[in-house]
């Protein structure tokens, strides 16, 4: 009898101990774990492109090379534009001489010169219109900046005004408005100068300079290849101002506020608890939304992009490096 009771007691103790062990293990396993979020170091990139279509004569930098703001990167040659510029300068000279010697000029000469200036203005208008339409398309595709589009639009409007002025001066010459001859000649000289300035503005874009101090990330075209308007020839990356980018689910956003400091590990540099200051929070597109299942009773969760800048300069920090952040759950 004693042996039976002893066996029952031991069995009960083993069962009780097993239940307690499983309960403790279950509680431990069901406890919420800390969430590890992975981010990445990024930096701003600048596409180098020009308004002048032509052939790349020289590339003065190599991929990975350090450049300073204002350094010349690329030289583009357009022999057609050079010829057009010389032609416009000649027309400008003719118009200027005509303005100075209007009293000695005959009606036939005035008509001939006015016709030449009008023809030149029409050619410039066609070029300016084509250039503007191309840049407008590139702007709508987010390839060139608003400033670029506005510059080309201004050139186009200037060419349009110059063409109209040249046309009216030609009509005045034909109609024989003798009392307006001097004013007409001056207007034609001004129109011719405006046309030459339009071409000169394009030629000034033959040498492209770096807008920032940074590093050459990519070179898309080689020397001798043709470059069209707005084509990205190379990319400069602002290596001196890297920042952290993390994509966070909406339900975790409560842990992040503008101006707060967060800590991350950077495995590539073997750094722990690196401090960053949050300076940007914005939702991503619908493609990054976490969809709730129909039977879960939940709701769709948006994903937010968070950017943060290092609180101190970190040597050798480069775009593409992984950052790991732990969020207490």
**Measured in Å, how far apart are the chain's first and last C-alpha atoms?**
55
Q: What is the mean pLDDT of residues 5-11?
A: 64
Return all residues near 248 (Cβ < 8 A) that are at least 6 apart.
37, 255, 256, 303, 304, 305, 306
- The whole-angstrom separation of Cα 65 and Cα 59 is 12
User: What are φ and ψ of residue 61, in 5° steps?
Assistant: -130, 165
User: Which of the residue ranges 96-100, 117-121, 174-178, 187-191 has the most confident prediction, judged by mean pLDDT?
Assistant: 117-121
Tally the residues of the chain.
Answer: 329
Q: pLDDT tens digits for 111-125?
A: 788 888 888 888 888
pLDDT band at 177 (very low <50, low <70, confident <90, very high): very low
Exposed (0-12), middle (13-18) or buried (19+): which is 230, by Cβ within 10 Å?
Answer: buried
* 115 contacts 170 by C-beta, under 8 angstroms: yes
Q: Both 179 and 118 in a single domain?
A: yes
Give yes or no for residue 296 having a pLDDT over 50.
no
Domain count along the chain: 2
User: Which of the residue ranges 89-98, 153-162, 208-217, 295-304 has the most confident prediction, judged by mean pLDDT?
Assistant: 208-217
Higher-confidence residue of 76 and 10: namely 76
User: What are φ and ψ of residue 49, in 5° steps?
Assistant: -145, 165
Q: Both 257 and 173 in a single domain?
A: no
Sign of CA dihedral 65, 69, 72, 77: positive
Asked, for residue 89, whether it belongs to a domain, the answer is: yes
Strand partners for 38: 324
Asked, for residue 102, whether it belongs to a domain, the answer is: yes
Strand partners for 247: 305
Q: What is the mean pLDDT of residues 230-246?
A: 93
Token pair for 51: 């308004």
Asked, for residue 248, whether it belongs to a domain, the answer is: yes
Asked, for residue 140, whether it belongs to a domain, the answer is: yes
| Average pLDDT score, the chain | 80
Q: Dihedral of the CA atoms 78, 228, 236, 319 (nearest 10)?
A: -160
Question: Which pLDDT score is estimated for 295?
Answer: 45
Q: Both 86 and 177 in a single domain?
A: yes
Question: Which pLDDT score is estimated for 53?
Answer: 80
Please say which residue of 200, 234, 259 terminates a domain.
Answer: 200
Q: pLDDT tens digits for 46-91?
A: 999 887 788 888 999 999 999 999 999 998 887 766 666 666 676 6
Asked, for residue 224, whether it belongs to a domain, the answer is: no
- Expressed as residue numbers, the domain containing 295 is 242-327
């Amino acid at each position: 009898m004693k042996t039976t009771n002893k066996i029952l007691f031991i069995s009960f103790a083993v069962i009780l101990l097993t239940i307690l062990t499983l309960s403790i293990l279950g509680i431990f396993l069901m406890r919420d774990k800390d969430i590890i979020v992975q981010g990445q170091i990024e930096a701003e990139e600048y596409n180098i492109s020009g308004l002048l279509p032509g052939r790349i004569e020289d590339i003065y930098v190599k991929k990975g090379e350090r450049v300073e703001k204002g350094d010349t990167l690329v030289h583009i040659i357009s022999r057609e534009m050079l010829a057009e510029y010389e032609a416009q300068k000649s027309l400008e000279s003719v118009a200027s001489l005509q303005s100075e010697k209007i009293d000695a000029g005959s009606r036939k000469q005035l008509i001939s010169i006015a016709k030449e200036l009008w023809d030149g203005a029409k050619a410039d208008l066609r070029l300016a219109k084509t250039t503007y339409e191309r840049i407008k398309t590139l702007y709508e595709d987010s390839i060139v900046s608003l400033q670029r589009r506005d510059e080309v639009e201004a050139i186009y409007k200037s060419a349009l005004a110059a063409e109209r002025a040249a046309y009216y001066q030609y009509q005045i010459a034909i109609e024989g408005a003798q009392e307006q001859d001097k004013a007409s000649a001056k207007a034609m000289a001004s129109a011719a100068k405006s046309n030459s300035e339009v071409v000169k503005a394009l030629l000034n874009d033959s040498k492209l300079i770096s807008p920032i101090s940074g590093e050459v990330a990519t070179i898309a075209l080689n020397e001798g290849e043709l470059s069209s308007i707005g084509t990205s020839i190379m990319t400069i990356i602002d290596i001196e101002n890297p920042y952290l980018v993390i994509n966070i689910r909406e339900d975790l956003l409560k842990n992040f506020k503008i101006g707060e400091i967060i800590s991350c590990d950077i495995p590539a540099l073997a750094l722990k608890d690196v401090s960053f200051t949050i300076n940007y929070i914005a939702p991503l597109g619908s493609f990054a939304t976490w969809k709730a299942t129909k039977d879960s009773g939940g709701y769709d969760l948006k994903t937010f992009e968070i950017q943060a800048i290092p609180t101190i300069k970190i040597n050798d920090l480069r775009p593409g490096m992984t950052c790991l952040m732990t969020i207490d759950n």
